[in-house]
Amino acid sequence: MPLSGLQKYILKTCYRQKRVLVKGKFEKFYLRAEVLTKGGQFAKIIPSKTEQIKIISRSLERLINKGYAVGYGEKTQYKWFIKEIKLTALGRKLSKKLQGEQTRFLFKK
């Protein structure tokens, strides 16, 4: 299953820092978020802060479920509250592979 842009960003950021990271560090992803629209143009689409937190939490949970990361936080009966994240050996291997991947540059017309 392919990874989303946010998940790739999380893996690359964790690999560069080489320590446990706080969840709030990943909100910077949305400062540079640009999406290709149907018309072929790039548009800046930034969700609200509450939506950003939900999206980041969901992405972190999915990375943990795939075995790429370990999450630290609290678990209630219904939900995980992830506060920090650290890469596993499998996650470090994947993020090292992603470091060598060519990134897509956004050019303006």
Question: Is 107 part of a structural domain of the chain?
Answer: no
Radius of gyration of the chain (CA): 15
Question: What is the total count of domains within the chain?
Answer: 1
| Proportion of the chain above pLDDT 90, given as a percent | 12
Over the stretch 46-69, which tens digit does the pLDDT of each residue have?
788 888 888 888 998 999 999 999
Note the pLDDT of residue 68.
93
- Average pLDDT, stretch 6-16? 87
6-18 core/surface letters (b: 16 or more CB in 10 A; e: else)? bbbbbbbbbbeee
Question: Is 18 part of a structural domain of the chain?
Answer: yes
Output the domain CATH number for residue 47: 1.10.10.10
Question: Is 106 part of a structural domain of the chain?
Answer: no
How would you class 36 by CB atoms within 10 Å of its CB: exposed for 0-12, middle for 13-18, buried for 19 or more? exposed
Over the stretch 81-107, which tens digit does the pLDDT of each residue have?
888 899 999 998 888 888 876 666 666
Note the pLDDT of residue 88.
92
CB 33 within 8 A of CB 46: yes
Residue 80 pLDDT class (50, 70, 90 cuts) = confident
pLDDT at 31 over 80: no
Question: Is 70 part of a structural domain of the chain?
Answer: yes
- The residue range of the domain holding 37 is 5-100
